[in-house]
Chain A
Amino acid sequence: MTDHTGTRRGFGAWLMDPKRRGALLVTPAIVILFVMNIFPLLWSFGLSFFNYKATSQRVPTFKGLSNYEKVLTDERTWERFQTTALIVSSSVILQLIVGFLLALLFAKAFPMRRIVLMLVLTPMMLSFVSVGVFFKLFYEPTFGIVSYVLNFFTTEHFVMLATPAGAIAGIVIADAWMWSPFVMLLVLAGLVSVPKYLYEAAEVDRASKWRTFWTITFPYIKSLLLLAVLFRTIETFKLFDIVYIITEGGPGSATETIAVFLYRNAFQFFKTSHSSALAYIVLFIVIVLTNLYLYSVNRRAEEVD
Chain B
Amino acid sequence: MTIELRKLTKRYGTLTAVDAIDLDVDDGEVLCLLGPSGCGKTTTLRMIAGLEFASEGDVLLGGKRVNGLAPRVRNVAMSFQFYALYPSITVAENLAYPLHADKLSKTEIAERVARVSKTLQLDGILNRTPSQLAEGEKQRVAVGRSIIRDPNCFLFDEPLSRLDVQLREEMRGEIKSVLQDLSRPTVIVTHDQLEALTMADRIAVMRDGRIEQVDTPHNIFQHPTNLFVAGFIGTPQMNLVPATLTSAQEDGVAEFSVEGGQNLKIQVDRRICELSAGARVTLGIRPRNLEISHEAVEDGLSTKIDMVEPMGAETLAHLYDGKHDLRVVTDWRVPLTEGEQVHTRFLPGTTLVFTEDEQVLRS
Contact = CB atoms under 8 A, between A and B. Distances in A.
In the complex, is A directly touching B at CB under 8 Å?
Answer: yes
A204 B49 contact: yes
Given A200-B84, A202-B86, A216-B86, 15 more contacts: A197-B84, A198-B84, A200-B51, A200-B80, A201-B86, A203-B51, A204-B72, A204-B76, A204-B98, A205-B98, A207-B100, A215-B86, A215-B88, A215-B89, A218-B88
Contact of A201 (B80, B88, B89, B100): B80
Interface in B60-103: 70-72, 75-78, 80-82, 84, 86-89, 97-98, 100-101
A219 B87 contact: yes
Q: On chain B, which size bracket covers the interface? A: 20 to 34
A206 B84 contact: no
A202 B87 CA distance: 12
A211 B94 CA distance: 12
A205 B76 contact: no
Interface string A188-211: 000000010110111111111001
A203 B72 contact: yes
25 contacts: A197-B80, A197-B81, A197-B84, A198-B84, A200-B71, A200-B80, A202-B97, A203-B71, A203-B72, A204-B49, A204-B51, A204-B71, A204-B72, A204-B78, A205-B98, A206-B100, A206-B101, A207-B97, A207-B98, A207-B100, A207-B101, A208-B100, A215-B97, A216-B86, A219-B88
Contacts of B86: 198, 201-202, 215-216
Interface of A: 195, 197-198, 200-208, 211, 215-216, 218-219
B41 interface: no
Contacts of A218: 88
B95 to A, nearest CB: 11
A215 B97 CA distance: 10
Interface in B209-237: none
Contacts of B98: 204-207
Contacts of A215: 86, 88-89, 97
Query: In the complex, which of the residues B49, B71, B84, B98 has the most CB atoms of chain A within 10 Å of its own CB atom?
Result: B84
Nearest to B76: A204
A206 B85 CA distance: 15
A208 B97 CA distance: 11
B98 to A, nearest CB: 4
Query: In the complex, which of the residues B77, B81, B100 has the most CB atoms of chain A within 10 Å of its own CB atom?
Result: B100
B314 to A, nearest CB: 40
Contact of B101 (A195, A197, A205, A219): A205
B82 A197 contact: yes
B327 interface: no
A203 to B, nearest CB: 5
Contacts of B80: 197, 200-201
Contacts of A200: 51, 71, 80, 84
A207 B70 CA distance: 12
Contact of B84 (A201, A208, A211, A219): A201
B300 to A, nearest CB: 52
Contact of B78 (A195, A201, A207): A201
B22 to A, nearest CB: 24
A224 B284 CA distance: 60
Contacts of A197: 80-82, 84
Contacts of A195: 82, 84
A211 B96 CA distance: 13
Query: In the complex, which of the residues A201, A204, A206, A218 has the most CB atoms of chain B within 10 Å of its own CB atom?
Result: A204
B51 to A, nearest CB: 5
A215 B87 CA distance: 8
Contact of A205 (B70, B81, B89, B97): B97
